[in-house]
Structure 1
Amino acid sequence: MRIEVRGVEPAEPAAAPALRFDLDLRARHADADAPIRALTLATQLRIDATGRGYDEQARERLKELFGPPESWDRNLSSLLWTQTVTHVPAFTGATRTPVTVPCTYDFDVAATKYLHGLPDGEVPLSFLFTGTVFYQDGDRLQAACLPWDTEAAFRMPVTVWKELMDRHFPRTAWIRLERDTFDRLYAHKVRHTLLGWDDAVRSLLRTSGG
């Protein structure tokens, strides 16, 4: 099975942010005419961080992930984005199928930190596929595993992810706090009669000189 990634767009409709990657699937020459009854396709999606360059601004924003720029030769590495399973219906020869990838603005997730940290350009992605193909061989239904080296590369524009986040979280970002930290922040907000959480955080940033 040969698989190629043809494009990406926001998944619609979607209550939560997600991207839809369109895959072209084509049976190899030897079994191109064999009817495929079903395909269970498992996809591991990785960010190949070594596959692009970074300017000074990007290096500063990604310091939390990869350390100071002088250590990037050792620390720059591939990041797991997600894993998902897609059930592809019957086809013969070739077909196109979407793979839906949920996205989050949780900054405890390494992929989110990376995608948010890129000012522009493209995100080098690696799609690693495993799965089971069910195909017709005469009167018999046969099953075969996808070869271990079934994979595809794709370069996603950074703007696709950023526009998706802007659509679902306009002018906002999300961080998770421990309960006692939240309680202290809430007490600070009440004590200084601040109207909102942004006001509370800004007042602390002013105090610290940030």
Structure 2
Amino acid sequence: MARFRFHCLDVRPEPYAAVPTLVFRLAIAEETGATVEGMLLRCQIQIDPRFRRYTDTERLALRDLFDEPRRWHQTLRPFPFASVTCVVPRFSGCTEVEMPVTCTYDFEVAASRFCTVLEQGEIPFLLLFSGSAFLNGSQGITAELLSWESETQYRLPVQVWQAMLDAYFPDSGWIRLSRETIAALQRFKASRGLPTWESVMAALLAAAERGET
């Protein structure tokens, strides 16, 4: 039976994709000497927020995800970032493969919100692998399922995430709103003669700070 070992070498932003994309470069080693004719590799990427420290600003921004910091020993748990599939070509011994992972900037998605509010340090990723390997042996081509223990970790510098967002959304972000809310904001914008949506939000925030309704 084949034995595979996985390692994430690095992660880089893809500058020419249609949507924000990170490219994970994986090293895959087969330790029994079998020839791998190909592999259909599935990877579930999780964020494990327990394995980093947080600034006071980050703690405040993450309260809607994890509740009050005094409860974080209970609420900090791994959560999904992405699930992807890639095809690994024929190899023997070890090989490297690039695995593109599309990312969202939707603040309603927990993973995006978590990564975006971080100011410094690293994002602790856990990569869990599954799928099928096609081996060339004495009985011809056979298929084997990957062991459920196939996994690796990677600590992505926050600057890499920020660089990816800056490449696709320079100094901007996206918030999804209902049509009813957008219509109400449009009426507010027109009634105040405000030129941009940025000025609408600034006016609303200023009114909230003054205690106006």
| Equivalent position of 1:148 in the other structure | 148
The yes-or-no answer on 1:22 pairing with 2:53 is no
Aligned length: 207
TM-score of the superposed pair, with normalisation by structure 1: 0.95
Whether the 8 Å CA contact 2:45–2:80 is kept in 1: the answer is yes
- TM-aligned CA deviation for residue 186 of structure 1: 0.6
Q: Distance in 2 between matches of 1:15 and 1:156?
A: 22
| Equivalent position of 1:99 in the other structure | 99
The yes-or-no answer on 1:122 pairing with 2:125 is no
| Equivalent position of 1:13 in the other structure | 16
| Equivalent position of 1:35 in the other structure | 35
Q: Distance in 1 between matches of 2:54 and 2:126?
A: 19
1:136-193, Cα deviation, whole Å (9 max, x unpaired): 0136110000001000011110100011101110110100001101100011111111
Residues 1-210 of structure 1: pairs in structure 2 closer than 5 A: 1-28=4-31, 30=32, 32=33, 34-138=34-138, 140-209=140-209
Determine what percentage of the aligned residue pairs are the same residue: 33
Q: Distance in 1 between matches of 2:192 and 2:158?
A: 40
- TM-aligned CA deviation for residue 103 of structure 1: 1.1
Whether the 8 Å CA contact 2:29–2:93 is kept in 1: the answer is yes
- TM-aligned CA deviation for residue 13 of structure 1: 2.6
1:15 aligns to what SS in structure 2?
A: coil
Q: Distance in 1 between matches of 2:139 and 2:180?
A: 65
Structure 1, gaps ≥5 residues long: none
- What do you get for the CA RMSD once the two structures are aligned? 1.1
1:23 aligns to what SS in structure 2?
A: strand
- TM-aligned CA deviation for residue 209 of structure 1: 1.0
